[in-house]
């Protein structure tokens, strides 16, 4: 058997391209603002994770330029050896303060930050994850040598059922998203902490989609619930509200020091670039000093969610700027994506296996920089397409 046989027989993508229903790898020709250009066509961006709209902020861009002028374009090595800058240390200290933790460590991507879970979970340990956790969490648990258990999405009764069957002597880590990236709901952290006191596990929260969105000045899920002290590890990515690329973990000093010397995704990877680091520093400063951006984000979120519901769309259990518009089977979801694209809206179709069969959805995400006029236009287009496809009356 030729190991490439699976590649030559893969036809799904090509069939979708022929039907003009292939939604991926669309080449954007402009900066990631509220509007983008694809193949010369202007589209309203409703699929970006730039929740605060800082990817186009002049101050963030200038900070990156100045960092390149001072440090160059890269670090030519890992943090472990020659790749640590004073800029990295400054950002780690500010992120630790921002999250209410003793220390933090930077990774070159958010995915790599979650791969560091494998450094914590050894042979006799157990890691328990939500079935809707991000793929990087799933892969991080797979790389570890411990056992992996899963529980139903945001269902603390299901989690307790898993916990009650575990060996009391094993080390246990429960890893959850703070804001779930497809459903748009928030983890039931208070109940999770209640179970922690009963079963004696550690909690890690992935706040990739929570920073800049919930908590004081956008400081995340633990702060939102007032449970920072009970949340043992906080993870974040820089590719959303922080307008850059990279990720971090924040925790006790001893935990971070251990990860510095055991996390392979840190030790064997080049460090985050000067430009990316400087962009995060400036974005963090803006986030803390301009809370009106978060207020505007939530104003836009309420406007769109209420508008979609009034049109008759099912938006699931979303309570955040991530709004799923349930569309049905794979073909109907792709047709809805195509129709919205042709109408001038950029949205993200989500298909199985990312969601259950016949539970496809269009993922809408809001930005603080969207105008009311843009959002009114979006609702008009959604109404037209929804009626054409029979998704709403």
Q: How confident is the model at residue 393 (pLDDT cuts 50, 70, 90)?
A: confident
* Whether residue 1 has pLDDT greater than 90: no
In the predicted model, what is the mean pLDDT of the chain?
Answer: 96
SS3 of the chain: the string is CCCCHHHHCCCHHHHHHHCCCCCCCCCECCCCCCEEEECCEEEEECCCCCCCCHHHCHHHHHHHHHHHHHHCCCCCCECCCCCCCHHHHHHHHHHHHHHCCCEEEEECCHHHHHHCHHHHCCCCCEEEEECCCCHHHHHHHHHCCCEEEEECCCCHHHHHHHHHCCCCCCCEEEEEECECCCCCCECCHHHHHHHHHHHCCEEEEECCCCCCCCCHHHCCHHHHHCCHHHCCEEEEECCCCCCCCCEEEEECHHHHHHHHHHCHHHHCCECCCHHHHHHHHHHHHHHHHCCHHHHHHHHHHHHHHHHHHHHCCCCCCCCCCEEEEEEECHHHHHHHHHHHHHCCEECEEECCCCCCCCCEEEEEECCCCCCHHHHHHHHHHHHHHHHHCCCCC
Q: Can you give the pLDDT at residue 352? A: 85
User: CA separation (Å) from 246 to 191, 197, 234, 239, 362?
Assistant: 30, 33, 15, 7, 26
Share of the chain above pLDDT 90, in %: 96
Please give the average per-residue pLDDT across 276-282, as a whole number.
Answer: 98
139-148 pLDDT, tens per residue?
999 999 999 9
233 burial via Cβ count (<10 Å: 0-12, 13-18, 19+):
buried
CATH pick for 10-45+291-388 out of 3.90.480.20, 2.60.40.10, 3.90.1150.10, 3.30.300.170? 3.90.1150.10
299: which 2 tokens? Answer: 């104003």
Helix axes 86-99, 274-289, angle to 10 degrees: 30
Q: Distance between CA 90 and CA 201 in Å, rounded? A: 31
Region 82-98: what's the mean pLDDT? Answer: 98
Q: Tell me the per-residue pLDDT of 337-349, one tens digit each, with 9 for 90 and over.
A: 999 999 999 999 9
- Give mean pLDDT, residues 38-64: 97
Do residues 124 and 171 lie in contact, with contact meaning Cβ atoms separated by under 8 Å? yes
**Structural domain boundaries in the chain:** 10-45+291-388, 58-289
**pLDDT over threshold 90, residue 253:** yes
CB 206 within 8 A of CB 137: yes
CA gyration radius, the chain: 21
Active site residue: 108, 181, 327, 365, which one?
Answer: 181
Round to whole Å and give the CA distance between 154 and 316.
Answer: 14
* pLDDT at residue 34, rounded to an integer: 98
Q: Quick check: 355 pLDDT over 90? A: no
Question: What tokens appear for 218 in the block?
Answer: 């956008």
CA distances from 68 to 76, 110, 311 (A): 14, 22, 48
Q: Is the pLDDT of residue 356 over 90?
A: no
Q: Is the pLDDT of residue 294 over 90?
A: yes
Residue among 172, 196, 240, 381 flagged as catalytic: 240
Indicate if the pLDDT at residue 167 is higher than 90: no
pLDDT value at residue 168: 82
**Catalytic residue, candidates 88, 172, 196, 209:** 209
Q: Please tell me the predicted confidence (pLDDT) of residue 169.
A: 86
Asked if 134 is an active-site residue, the reply is no
Per-residue pLDDT, 157: 98
Cα separation of 380 and 44, whole Å?
13
Question: What confidence tens digit (pLDDT) does each residue in 193-252 have?
Answer: 999 999 999 999 999 999 999 999 999 999 999 999 999 999 999 999 999 999 999 999
Res. 177: pLDDT tops 90 = yes
Question: What pLDDT shows up at residue 288?
Answer: 95
Please determine, for residue 69, whether its predicted confidence score (pLDDT) is greater than 90.
Answer: yes
* pTM reported for the whole predicted model: 0.96
- Residue 6 among the catalytic residues: no
Mark whether 261 is an active-site residue.
no
Structure token pair of residue 303: 């406007």
Pick the CATH number of 58-289 from 3.40.50.150, 3.40.640.10, 3.40.50.1220, 3.60.10.10: 3.40.640.10
Residue 357 has pLDDT above 90, yes or no: no
């Amino acid at each position: 058997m030729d190991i490439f046989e699976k590649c030559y027989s893969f036809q799904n993508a090509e069939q979708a391209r022929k039907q003009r229903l292939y939604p991926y790898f669309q080449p954007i020709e402009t900066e990631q603002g509220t509007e983008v250009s694809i193949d010369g066509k202007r589209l309203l961006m409703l699929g970006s994770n730039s929740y605060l709209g800082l990817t186009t902020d002049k101050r963030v861009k200038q900070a990156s330029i100045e960092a390149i002028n001072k440090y160059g374009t890269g670090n030519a090595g890992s943090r472990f050896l020659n790749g640590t800058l004073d800029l990295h240390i400054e950002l780690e200290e500010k992120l630790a303060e921002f999250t209410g933790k003793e220390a933090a460590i930077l990774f070159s991507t958010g995915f790599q930050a979650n791969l560091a879970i494998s450094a914590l979970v050894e042979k006799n340990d157990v890691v328990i994850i939500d079935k809707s956790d991000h793929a990087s969490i799933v892969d991080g648990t797979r790389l570890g040598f411990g056992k992996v258990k899963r529980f139903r999405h945001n269902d603390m009764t299901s989690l307790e059922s898993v916990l009650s069957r575990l060996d009391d002597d094993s080390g246990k880590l429960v890893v959850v998203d703070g804001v779930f990236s497809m459903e748009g709901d928030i983890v039931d952290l208070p109940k999770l902490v209640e179970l922690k006191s009963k079963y004696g596990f550690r909690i890690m929260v992935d706040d990739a989609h929570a920073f800049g969105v919930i908590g004081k000045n956008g400081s995340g899920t633990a702060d939102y619930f007032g449970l920072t002290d009970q949340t043992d590890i906080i993870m974040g990515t820089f590719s959303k509200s922080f307008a850059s690329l990279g990720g971090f973990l924040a925790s006790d000093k001893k935990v971070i020091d251990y990860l510095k010397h055991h996390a392979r995704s840190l030790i064997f990877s080049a460090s985050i670039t000067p430009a990316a680091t400087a962009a995060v520093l400036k974005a963090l400063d803006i986030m803390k000093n301009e809370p009106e951006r978060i207020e505007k984000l939530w104003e836009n979120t309420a406007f769109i969610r209420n508008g979609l519901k009034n049109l008759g769309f099912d938006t699931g259990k979303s309570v955040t700027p991530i709004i799923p518009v349930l569309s049905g089977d794979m073909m109907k979801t792709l047709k809805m994506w195509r129709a919205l694209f042709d109408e001038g809206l950029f949205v993200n179709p989500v298909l199985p296996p990312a969601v259950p069969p016949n539970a496809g959805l269009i993922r809408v995400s809001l930005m603080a920089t969207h105008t009311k006029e843009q959002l009114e236009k979006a609702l008009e287009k959604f109404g037209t397409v929804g009626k054409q496809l029979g998704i709403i009356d």
